[in-house]
Chains A and B, each alone.
Chain A
Amino acid sequence: MTRRFDPRRFRRNARLYLKLQLIQLRTAVEYRADFWIGIIGASLMNGAGLIFVVALFGQIDDIAGWSGWEVAILYGLALIPRGLTELFCDGPWTLRMMLNQGEFDRLLVRPTSPALQTTTQLASIHGVGQLTLGGTAFWLGVNRTDLDWTLWKAGFFLVILVSSWIMLCAINFLVNLIGFWEPSTQSAIPTAYAMLIDFAKFPLDIYSNAIKVLITVVAPYAFISYFPAIVLLDKESSWRWLGLASPLVTLIVVLLTSWLWGRALNRYQGVGH
Chain B
Amino acid sequence: MTANNTANGPIIEVHDLTKRFRRPAKEPGLRGAVRHLFRPEYENITAVENVNLSVRPGESLAYVGPNGAGKSTTVKLLTGILVPTSGTVMVNGLTPFEHRIENARNIGVVFGQRTQLWWDIPVIESFRLLGDIYEITEDQFAASFAELSDVLDLEPLLKVPARQLSLGQRMRCDLAASLLHQPPVLYLDEPTIGLDVSVKARFRQFIRYMHRERGLTVMLTSHDLGDIEELCDRMVMIDKGKIVYDGALNEITARFGWERSLHLTLTEPDKSAVETASRALAKRTGAVASQPEPTVVTVTFDSREASPGELIRDLATVLAVTDIRIEEPSAESIIRRLYEGDLQFETTNS
- A residues near B (Cβ < 8 Å) are 1, 12, 15-16, 19-20, 23, 26-27, 30, 101-103, 105-106, 108-112, 266, 269-271, 273
- The distance in angstroms between the C-alpha atoms of A270 and B82, with both chains bound, is 6
- The distance in angstroms between the C-alpha atoms of A102 and B101, with both chains bound, is 19
Known: A12-B135, A19-B132, A110-B104. 16 other contacts (CB 8 A): A16-B133, A23-B118, A23-B120, A23-B129, A27-B118, A102-B111, A108-B80, A109-B79, A109-B81, A110-B133, A111-B102, A111-B133, A111-B134, A270-B83, A271-B83, A273-B22
- Chain A residues, Cβ within 8 Å of B121: 23, 26-27
> Which of A16, A106, A273 lies in contact with B21, CB distance below 8 A?
A273
Shortest CB-to-CB span from A84 to chain B, Å, is 22
Count A-B contacts at CB 8 Å: 68
- Chain A residues, Cβ within 8 Å of B119: 27
- Chain B residues, Cβ within 8 Å of A273: 20-22, 85
6 contacts between A and B (CB under 8 A): A106-B109, A112-B133, A270-B85, A273-B20, A273-B21, A273-B85
- Chain B residues, Cβ within 8 Å of A15: 132
Q: Are B100 and A108 in contact (CB under 8 A)?
A: yes
B125 at the interface (CB under 8 A from A): yes
Q: Are B134 and A105 in contact (CB under 8 A)?
A: no
B114 at the interface (CB under 8 A from A): yes
- The distance in angstroms between the C-alpha atoms of A111 and B133, with both chains bound, is 7
- Chain A residues, Cβ within 8 Å of B83: 266, 269-271
- The distance in angstroms between the C-alpha atoms of A106 and B189, with both chains bound, is 12
- Chain A residues, Cβ within 8 Å of B133: 16, 110-112
Interface of B is mostly: mixed
Q: Interface readout for B257-283 with A: 1 if CB under 8 Å, 0 if not?
A: 000000000000000000000000000
Whether A111 touches B101, Cβ cut-off 8 Å, given contacts A27-B120, A102-B114, A273-B21, is yes
B97 at the interface (CB under 8 A from A): yes
Q: Are A111 and B104 in contact (CB under 8 A)?
A: yes
Number of chain B residues close to chain A: CB under 8 A: 33
Interface of A is mostly: helix
- Chain B residues, Cβ within 8 Å of A109: 79-81, 104, 107, 109
- Chain B residues, Cβ within 8 Å of A108: 79-81, 100, 104
B116 at the interface (CB under 8 A from A): yes
Q: Which of A23, A105, A112 has the most CB of B within 10 A?
A: A105
B242 at the interface (CB under 8 A from A): no
- Chain A residues, Cβ within 8 Å of B76: 105
B19 at the interface (CB under 8 A from A): yes
Shortest CB-to-CB span from B207 to chain A, Å, is 18
B200 at the interface (CB under 8 A from A): no
- The distance in angstroms between the C-alpha atoms of A23 and B79, with both chains bound, is 27
- The distance in angstroms between the C-alpha atoms of A134 and B109, with both chains bound, is 44
> Which of B81, B111, B120 lies in contact with A30, CB distance below 8 A?
B120
B204 at the interface (CB under 8 A from A): no
Q: Interface readout for B103-127 with A: 1 if CB under 8 Å, 0 if not?
A: 0110101010010101111000100
- The distance in angstroms between the C-alpha atoms of A15 and B98, with both chains bound, is 26
- The distance in angstroms between the C-alpha atoms of A19 and B125, with both chains bound, is 11
- Chain B residues, Cβ within 8 Å of A270: 19, 21, 82-83, 85
Shortest CB-to-CB span from A219 to chain B, Å, is 23
